[in-house]
Each structure stands twice: as structure tokens, then as C-alpha cells.
Amino acid sequence: MNIQRMQEMANGDSPTYIVAIETSCDETSAAVVRDGKEVLSNVVSSQVDIHQKFGGVVPEVASRKHVESVSWIIEQAFEEAGIAPHEVAAVAVTQGPGLVGSLLVGMVAAKALAFALGKPLIGVHHIAGHIYANQLVHDLQYPLVALVVSGGHTELVHVETEGRFRIIGQTRDDAAGEAYDKVARALKLPYPGGPHVDRLAHEADEAVEMPRAWLESNSYDFSFSGLKSAVMAALNQARMKGIELAPSAVARGFQDSVIDVLVNKSLRAARDVGARQLLLAGGVAANKGLRTELAARCSAEGLPLLVPPLSLCTDNAAMIAAAAFLKLRRGQYSSLTMKAEPLMKLESWSV
């Protein structure tokens, strides 16, 4: 037992621990979080190297790797946290959305652990986890707007009070992360493409101008399919003319378009709903260009911007524990008959 745990027991403190499991896609993760804010452990096993050869995530392979990893990942999470399994107040797990096979692996592990320990089970919405990853490093003030940008999601979420979600804007086709991966493939960059496109964009001295999909004047929705097609068209037209476009210039033109739309719609949404904070969440929140531009624009408008550290941007179990704490405090538990929901709606998970 570590010194910190001994001090807690000596002082008569009664912290609340949640162990969480995340297996929605291609990361196997388990974490122990205290009082919904303090990360004691957050173990993540990535499958990126395995899926790189296929240029994307293969669901059957992802599920198999979760089966191989989940038990030792949970054991390591407890070991690093310095607590015993019976000390947790609840077991949390990602219920959806995600790849159904991957979700099922985490669900079975969480149900078995909750049953064996006699502890409550809490199913968590994956996007709620991304949003409340910010709670692990910041104090949240409501109402707020969260810009969630990841491989499968691009959404603007109005959080009026703690744990009450309302999607006010979302992608109508490709999510931003999907567009990044498809453009990276066209530029012959490795998977996952987002970090490589971001790096190339920062190396560019010029940009190939790309269109912006603003949609209707009052819409908060996004569309990146046309932008992706514009990149392909620019590359094909250049090849037909015997011209080689600089990959960095294409990357910068693409990224400038994505960031321009994301930032402007996010700030307009924040103004319109009277948000006290703007939160950035999801895997694409690690994008340097997006973080830099959003920070500059929020600073100019006097709007506090909250961004989690890079380790909490990508899929991880600590964020699932943070969101689960909202349900735990209200005694809102899940049944052991809970099912995985690959298309789970965020609003339905509101506390």
C-alpha cells in the first residue's frame, strides 16, 4: 500500500474510487480515478501498429486484441493506483457508441468485475467521456459548449448544466478525423493520418486554396465530404497536367479549411447560447493547428478555452471514469443485463 493511501486511512478520509474500462475502438484502457477528478492510473494499450498495415481499423482484429489485453490492463490499473479491487465504489465501462465487437469485450469484463466485487455497474457514453476528460484537469462552469472532434464524431454540444447534453451541431457526412485519414491516404501518409497532415501543414510555406462548407447561415452543422473531394480533385487535375503539388501545401490548404469552419462555428455557438466556457474534446483535439487557432480566437473574444492534455484527448478509461462519477453521485446505475449500443445517442445518457 502506498504512502498516500496510508495517510487517507489515518486521516479518516473517504475518497470515492471508480475503476473504468474503455474498449470502444482500437485502444484497450483501464483506469482508476478518485472523486471524479484525480487520475490514479490510466493504462492504455494502443493497436495502431497492428492496424497500420490495413490503412484503418479492422473491427474483427480490434475485438480479438481487446480480448487478449483487457485482463492484464485492468490488473495493471489497480497496481499503478495502489488500491485493491474491493475498494472501488463502482465499475464503469463504455456502453457506446463504438465498434460493437470491441464494446462487447469491455462490457463483459466490466460486468464480470462488478458482479464479482458486488459493486454497481455504470455504462458510459463515449462522447460524454471525451467532454468530461476536461474535468480531470479543469473546473467546469455551466453553461458551456463542447467541440467534440474525433475519427467518427464532429459535434457541437451544449451542456447547460452538469451532465445535461444537447447536440446543436453535427457532421452530415464525414467526421473531421475521417477526412484527415482519407486526405492522408491520398497524400501517401501513414495511418492514422491526422498527426501527419498536421505536421505537414505546419511545414508549408504556401497553401493550395480549398473551399469551406458553411452550409446554411444559421446552421452549426459540419460537412467535410466536399472538402475531401476537393483535395482529390486538386491532386488529380495537377497529375493530368503533369504538375506535382507539394504535399505540404495541400495539407495546409485542407487543414486551414477544416480549422476555419470548426473555429468559427464553435465561437458562434458559444456566443448564441451564452456559454461561459468552450471545451475542446476528442482525438483531433490533439491537432496543433486547431488548438492554436482556437486559443487565439477565444482569447480575442474573452472566452475561456479548456483543452485536455494530449494523453486525455485520445480514447482512454480515465475520461470514462470522470463521466461515470456524474451517475455515481446520483445513484444512477446500470443493470447487469445492459447491452452494448454502437449507435448510442448522447442526449439519452444525460443525468
Amino acid identity at 186: A
Task: Taking residues 17-29, report their average pLDDT.
Answer: 96
Identify which has the larger pLDDT, 62 or 341.
341
pLDDT for the residue numbered 92:
98
Q: Which of 89, 99, 119, 84 is nearest to 28 (CA)?
A: 99
pLDDT of residue 1: 44
Average pLDDT, integer, range 303-319: 95
Alpha helices (runs of H) in the chain, residue ranges in sequence order:
3-11, 48-52, 59-81, 100-117, 126-132, 176-186, 194-203, 225-240, 247-273, 288-301, 317-330
Q: Which residues pair with 170 in a beta bridge?
A: 155
Q: pLDDT value at position 13?
A: 64
For residue 93, what are the contacts with CB-CB under 8 A and spacing of at least 6? Answer: 20, 21, 22, 106, 107, 109, 110, 111, 121, 122, 123, 124, 320
**pLDDT at residue 8 is higher than 70:** no
Q: How far apart are CA 231 and CA 187, in angstroms?
A: 10
Checking if the pLDDT of 91 tops 60, the result is yes
Give the DSSP H or E segment for 88. Answer: none
Q: Containing H/E element for 302?
A: none
Q: Is 151 in contact with 191 (CB distance < 8 Å)?
A: no
CATH class of 3-131+313-349: alpha beta
**pLDDT score at 260:** 97
Calculate the alpha carbon distances from 99 to 312, 324, 343 in Å: 20, 20, 9
Cis (ω within 30 of 0) for the bond into 342?
Answer: no
Q: List, in order, residues 6 or more apart from 238 with CB less than 8 Å away.
A: 244, 245
pLDDT tens, residue by residue, 103-133: 999 999 999 999 999 999 999 999 999 999 9
Question: Residue 258 — pLDDT band, cuts 50, 70, 90?
Answer: very high
3-class DSSP assignment, residue 305: strand
Q: How far apart are CA 84 and CA 228, in angstroms?
A: 49
CATH architecture of 141-307: 2-Layer Sandwich (3.30)
Residue environment code for 258-277, b if the CB has 16+ CB neighbours within 10 A, otherwise e: bbebbbebbbebbeebebeb
CA dihedral 282, 225, 99, 21 (to 10 degrees): 0
User: What is the reported pLDDT for 257?
Assistant: 97
Please spell the DSSP secondary structure of 145-191, one letter per residue. Answer: EEEEE-SS-EEEEEE-STT-EEEEEEBSSS-HHHHHHHHHHHTTPPS
Tell me if residue 98 falls in helix, strand or coil: coil
pTM over 0.85: yes
State the pLDDT confidence band at 3, using cuts at 50, 70 and 90: very low
Backbone φ and ψ of 12, nearest 5°:
75, 20
Cα-flanking dihedrals φ and ψ of residue 33, to 5°?
Answer: -125, 135
Average pLDDT, the chain: 93
Query: Residue length, the chain?
Result: 351
Question: Which of 8-17, 83-92, 320-329 is the least confident region?
Answer: 8-17
Lowest mean pLDDT among 36-45, 57-66, 76-85, 224-233: 57-66
Residue 126 cell numbers, joined: 463515449
With a CB cutoff of 8 Å and minimum separation 6, the contacts of 111 are 93, 121, 336, 338
Closest CA to 122 of 93, 165, 146, 145: 93
**Per-residue confidence band for 51, with pLDDT thresholds at 50, 70 and 90:** confident
Name the segment(s) of the chain with CATH classification 3.30.420.40: 3-131+313-349, 141-307
Q: Read off φ and ψ for residue 29, nearest 5 degrees.
A: -140, 145
